[in-house]
Amino acid sequence: MKDFPDVITWSIPAFLLLVVLERISYLIHRDDDEVGYGAADTATSLAMGLGSVFTDLLWKVPIAAAYALLYTLTPLRIAEVWWTWPLILLGQDFCYYWSHRGHHVIRILWASHVVHHSSQRFNLSTALRQPWTGLTSWIFYIPLILAGVHPAVLAFCGSLNLLYQFWIHTERIDRLPRWYEFVFNTPSHHRVHHASQGGYLDRNFGGILIVWDRLFGTFAAEWERCVYGLTKNIATYNPVRVAFHEYAAIARDVRAATSWRNRAAHLFRTPGWQPEPAVAAQDPAVVAPASATPPAPATTS
């Protein structure tokens, strides 16, 4: 078994230190258009992050087993030499783009990812607001396993991807040099991703690179102040409700659905999808429109 450092776990002290430093920076100076920090919001984000550390340990077991089985079945092997590492990381970032995009357009996947978007603030603590149901991404990386990437290598590259994304959750950094903004994901690009207004919705899915969004038509530049959160925000800081509120909403919709087709649609169509309301058929020859004016009574002269 290959042994790689647990990048995310080792980085937790640095994450917390940077959150504190960013919070202090707001006390020193805060622009009018910056949302900043809120005590309850930050506490919720930290609780979600801490909870994800433990729940991820549970999800890793079945995922590792599935990847190990697939890896033994494929005849392909990609050696970990200096020139293959950038290619593997590139492939992982490509798969991350499609995983991230899928988690925005398929409701049962969104039920997990919505946790990360549930804050109406955008700061380094938001990066730590992670779901507790992390069993929804592994299928998107199967092509890399079948291509011969060792599961441990894939996990390590995934950790590097998440590590990169920590620092882009901030309002404190404006736009970076144009060449960097063109190729890489940046705080400006990721502010757009976390915004809830129409022109920004479902944009900028990239992890390390923003070129995937440019290639596949999902890129949007930051052009107006971002309003963070969901199109319909949840009024709670309860970590359990934050973690499972969308699953509960799906369960209610599935229970109320009148057909199996609609039940499946509530699971696999886009978030917010609802069936068209039924319209009762009326015979215009028998039933007059509600707005019709009754005939005037007959008069005699």
User: Could you write out the DSSP letters of every residue in 164-210?
Assistant: HHHTTS-SS-----HHHHHHB--HHHHHHHHB-SGGGTT----SSBS
Would 261 be classed as within a structural domain? no
Using the Cα atoms of residue 197, residue 199, residue 201 and residue 204 in order, give the sign of their dihedral: negative
- In a domain? residue 28: no
Q: What ranges make up the beta strands (E) of 96-161?
A: none
Answer whether residue 289 shows pLDDT above 90: no
Domain for residue 69, yes or no? yes
**pLDDT (tens digit per residue) in 223-258:** 999 999 999 999 999 999 999 999 999 999 999 999
| Total count of domains within the chain | 1
The answer to whether 229 and 119 have CB atoms below 8 angstroms apart is yes
Going by C-alpha positions, the residue among 168, 151, 260 that lies closest to residue 206 is: 168
Cβ pair 173, 34 in contact under 8 A = no
pTM, 2 dp = 0.90
Query: CA nearest 78: which of 10, 148, 12?
Result: 148
Whether 269 is in a domain gets the answer: no
pLDDT range class, residue 296, cuts 50, 70, 90? very low
Domain hosting 192: range is 10-22+36-247
What is the distance between the alpha carbons of residues 125 and 211, in angstroms, rounded to a whole number?
26
Taking alpha carbons only, the member of 40, 233, 238, 203 closest to residue 132 is 238
206 or 290: which leads in pLDDT: 206
* Domain-located, residue 222: yes
CA–CA distance, 137 with 129 (Å, rounded to integer): 17
Q: In a 3-state reduction of DSSP, which class is residue 228?
A: strand
Phi, psi of 184 (to 5 degrees): -110, 155
Q: pLDDT of 160-218, one tens digit each?
A: 999 999 999 999 999 999 999 999 999 999 999 999 998 999 999 999 999 999 999 99
Q: Is residue 298 part of a domain?
A: no
Task: Indicate whether 131 belongs to any domain.
Answer: yes
Taking the C-alpha atoms of residue 145 and residue 143, their distance in angstroms, rounded to an integer, is 5
Q: Specify the 3-state DSSP secondary structure of 244.
A: helix
User: How far apart, in whole angstroms, are the C-alpha atoms of residue 8 and residue 156?
Assistant: 10
In a domain, 51, yes or no: yes
